[in-house]
Amino acid sequence: MQRDKWIRTAATVALVVSAASACGASGAPASAKGTPVPSPTAAPPEKVAPQHPAPGKKAPVLEQIKYDLETRVLYMGGAVPKQTSSTCDTKEVGGEKPRTFTCTVKYMGVDVPFRVETKGGFILTQYTATPTKGGVLTAEGMRARAWKQYGQYGGKAAGSLRCDKAPEVQLVPIDKPSGYRCYVGEGGLKGDYDAIVTANGMRLT
């Protein structure tokens, strides 16, 4: 999935956010699948950002792009606040000449590459950034997302909430079945829910 952005080359950043969507399981009842998801000791964060200072309003365009891509990867991973870093195979972006280059975000030891295309502009630089090898899924983020959607209100849903065992972190396809699910075994929300990583976040559906 692509997402268009406009950056004012000497000043502000205007962000546009989008989302997307859908995974697999087998015959056992939801109450017998996966492992229990306990109440977290701290509520999953509503917002997350890279753990280093944001670029200023007058920072180079490339630094603003890198910070935005790191933020996107954090949300892909379920908003687990871990250290991020990024590199690009170009050192400067801006002006009216279109550019295509690669930026790679490192998160929890995994590299998440993006193809970045700029359209240029004297005052604003428009760009799209497309993950080229998938998005990042974390087991902690999947459990946190499950608790946020189905567990935090208590009752039967919270008591029967379970998720598949997953690696601590891995790349998975964007907007496609990740291969992992969470389950509500009882109550009105009973069912199997696919963990989906989109270009801008994670969802269970």
**Per-residue model confidence as pLDDT tens digits over 148-192:** 999 988 999 999 999 999 999 999 999 998 999 999 999 999 999
**Residue 80 pLDDT exceeds 70:** yes
3-state secondary structure of 186: coil
* Token pair 């760009």 in the structure block, residue: 127
- Burial label for 128, CB within 10 Å (0-12, 13-18, 19+), is middle
pLDDT computed for residue 18 by the predictor: 29
Question: Contact at 8 Å (CB) between 179 and 23?
Answer: yes
**How far is CA 62 from each of CA 82, 87, 121, rounded to the nearest angstrom?**
22, 10, 14
**Per-residue model confidence as pLDDT tens digits over 85-124:** 999 999 988 777 889 999 999 999 999 999 999 987 666 7
**Per-residue model confidence as pLDDT tens digits over 5-25:** 655 433 333 333 223 333 344
Token pair listed for 162: 């379970």
pLDDT tier at 46, thresholds 50, 70, 90: confident
CA separation for the pair 42, 54 (Å, rounded): 25
3-state secondary structure of 133: coil
